[in-house]
């Protein structure tokens, strides 16, 4: 480790410890460490876990629990419903941290979406009812979810496949849209950063600030250079403040686990409040996954994850194992599919798009009240990565829901707006027709980028 790497590790540790202490104080001030979990709450929690995870029950009306066993032996749990006939279009939903398939229950239960599409919501490895990898590497996670999607597509005669993602699921969604985008007719990506764009914006900010500071060293009376350097760094620094909680997950494991499990799961319950889920115990049950009582029929790792430390490890591994920025070593079968898609798409050395560019139409959504992301840092320059549309068909968008927070698919009007985006994609509507649908349920929605 070089000096710069050591300094960064020390700074991250200091910020992580400080952030954890602040959150411990917040949890303590809410009484989470001293309030007993009463009998009624325990019973409600067990009942909620049974309703969501018992394989003999329908998790939602008209839906069934299913499992997919990949060639690597990893079992992925998913729920399936809607129009499951071979000729219907496919929609795959992928959740984020600390959620499971349940976070999409409004969209899954929408009658208009159910009637039009085959709906699948999968638990990511290490979450909900799915197996986990020892290391949540890009190769492990992205390959697992891509082979799952391919297996679901093989059931269909309809080639249309829409990917809908959130948070860490959207980091996965960004990578799939740019690296295997030929699999999808559209990706609807909620509340996340596109890793190559984040690196580009960070590099641009630090390089610009560095040049100004070097010039200042030769002209120490020119304080305007200091101000300009700060302005260049401000979006990056603001995003670092927004992402402070990530530093906790990068601490040594005994400390990193605490944010997830302390104070009767204070942090997941805080997420429930931020997401505006109506029933906190049902949300917590969705985060905790199957209990020992429901474990029969699930992968064996579910029993291991009854230990709260093991459960936390599988979920926070996404932050620790470089899933966002690490290299994806695709298996040969995926390499061949990718090469075939590029050949059929007519790419040549002169026309090769920018690295990280999307290979399918995307609709990227962020909430105006999402405290986890800074708009300028996360989305400035995004248009350079968008898939070029063909006339009025297959356009890509950056959309802001001003009244939405980090979970726009849960409370109104974000929930209905997300559903309108999905329905428009199913109906093949684009441009003004799609916008009019969204504005019917949220007149304040802003289509900031269109390409």
**158-189: pLDDT as tens digits:** 999 999 999 999 999 999 999 999 999 999 99
Question: Does pLDDT of 346 surpass 60?
Answer: no
Maximum CA pair distance of the chain?
74
pLDDT for 1: 52
Question: Does pLDDT of 81 surpass 80?
Answer: yes
Is 210 within the bounds of a domain? yes
**Residue 390: which pLDDT band, with cuts at 50, 70 and 90?**
confident
pLDDT for 65: 98
Is 253 within the bounds of a domain? no
Contact 119, 422 (CB under 8 A): no
Higher pLDDT, 201 or 9: 201
pLDDT tens per residue, range 86-98 = 999 999 999 999 9
Q: Is 296 helix (H, G, I), strand (E, B) or coil?
A: coil
pLDDT for 349: 46
pLDDT tens per residue, range 205-224 = 888 888 888 888 888 888 88
pLDDT mean over 48-62: 96
Question: Does pLDDT of 347 surpass 70?
Answer: no
**Residue 41: which pLDDT band, with cuts at 50, 70 and 90?**
confident
Q: Which of 42-56, 153-167, 202-216, 430-444 has the lowest mean pLDDT?
A: 202-216
Q: List, in sequence order, the alpha helices (H) in 38-137.
A: 39-53, 105-109, 111-116
Is 286 within the bounds of a domain? no
Number of other CB atoms surrounding residue 72 within 10 Å: 12
pLDDT above 70 as % of the chain: 96
Number of other CB atoms surrounding residue 387 within 10 Å: 21
DSSP 8-state code for residue 115 = H
Is 208 within the bounds of a domain? yes
Is 20 within the bounds of a domain? no
Is 218 within the bounds of a domain? yes
Contact 166, 96 (CB under 8 A): yes
Strand ranges of the sheet holding 186-190, from the earlier edge strand across to the other edge: 64-69, 75-82, 118-122, 90-94, 161-166, 186-190, 362-367, 397-401, 446-450
Sheet strands (E) in 124-171: 161-166
Question: Does pLDDT of 37 surpass 90?
Answer: no
Contact 362, 177 (CB under 8 A): yes
To the nearest whole number, what is the mean pLDDT of the chain?
92
pLDDT mean over 241-261: 94
pLDDT tens per residue, range 127-147 = 999 999 999 999 999 999 999
pLDDT for 449: 95
Question: Does pLDDT of 408 surpass 60?
Answer: yes
Among 81, 186, 78, 145, residue whose Cα is nearest residue 434: 186
Q: Which domain holds residue 235?
A: 197-242
pTM: 0.95
**Residue 156: which pLDDT band, with cuts at 50, 70 and 90?**
very high
Residue 165 — φ and ψ, nearest 5°? Answer: -135, 165
pLDDT for 350: 44
pLDDT for 351: 56
Cα distance between residue 65 and residue 77, in whole Å = 7
Is 77 within the bounds of a domain? no
How many domains does the chain divide into?
1
pLDDT above 90 as % of the chain: 78
Contact 438, 419 (CB under 8 A): no
pLDDT mean over 316-342: 92
DSSP 8-state code for residue 393 = B
397-401 and 446-450 as β-strands: parallel, antiparallel, unpaired? antiparallel
310 token code pair: 């093991």
């Amino acid at each position: 480790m070089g000096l710069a790497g050591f300094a960064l590790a020390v700074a991250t540790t200091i910020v992580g410890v400080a952030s954890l202490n602040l959150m411990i104080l917040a949890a303590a001030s809410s009484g989470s460490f001293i309030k007993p979990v009463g009998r009624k709450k325990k019973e409600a929690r067990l009942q909620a876990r049974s309703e969501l995870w018992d394989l003999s029950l329908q998790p939602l009306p008209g839906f069934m629990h299913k499992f997919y066993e990949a060639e690597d032996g990893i079992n992925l749990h998913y729920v399936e419903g809607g129009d499951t006939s071979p000729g219907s279009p496919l929609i795959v939903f992928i959740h984020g941290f600390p959620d499971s398939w349940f976070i999409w229950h409004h969209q899954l239960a929408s009658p208009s979406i159910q009637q039009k599409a085959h709906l699948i919501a999968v638990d990511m490895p290490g979450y909900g009812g799915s197996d986990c990898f020892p290391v949540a590497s890009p190769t492990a996670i992205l390959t697992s979810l891509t082979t799952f999607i391919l297996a679901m597509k093989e059931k269909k005669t309809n080639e249309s496949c829409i990917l809908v993602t959130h948070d860490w699921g959207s980091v996965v969604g960004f990578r799939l849209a740019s690296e295997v985008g030929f699999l999808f007719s559209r990706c609807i990506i909620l509340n996340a950063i596109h890793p190559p764009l984040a690196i580009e914006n960070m590099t641009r900010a630090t390089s610009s600030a560095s040049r100004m500071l070097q010039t200042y060293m030769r002209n120490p009376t020119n304080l305007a250079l200091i101000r300009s350097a700060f302005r260049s760094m401000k979006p990056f620094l603001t995003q670092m403040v927004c992402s402070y909680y990530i530093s906790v997950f990068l601490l040594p494991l005994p400390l990193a686990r605490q944010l997830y499990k302390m104070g009767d799961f204070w942090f997941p319950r805080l997420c429930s409040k931020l997401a505006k889920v109506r029933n906190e115990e049902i949300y917590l049950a969705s985060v905790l996954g199957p209990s020992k009582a429901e474990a029969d029929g699930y992968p064996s790792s579910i029993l291991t994850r009854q230990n709260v430390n093991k459960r936390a490890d599988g979920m926070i591994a996404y932050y620790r194992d470089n899933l966002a920025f690490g290299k994806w070593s695709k298996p040969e079968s995926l390499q061949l599919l990718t090469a075939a898609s590029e050949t059929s798409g007519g790419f040549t050395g002169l026309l090769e798009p920018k690295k990280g560019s999307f290979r399918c139409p995307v609709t990227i959504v962020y909430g105006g009240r999402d405290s986890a992301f800074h708009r300028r840092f996360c989305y400035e320059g995004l248009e350079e990565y968008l898939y070029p549309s063909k006339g009025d068909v297959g356009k890509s968008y950056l959309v802001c829901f001003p009244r939405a927070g980090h979970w726009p698919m849960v409370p109104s009007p974000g929930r209905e707006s997300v559903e309108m985006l999905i329905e428009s994609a199913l109906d093949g509507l684009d441009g003004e027709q799609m916008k009019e649908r969204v504005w019917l349920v949220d007149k304040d929605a802003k289509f900031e980028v269109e390409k």
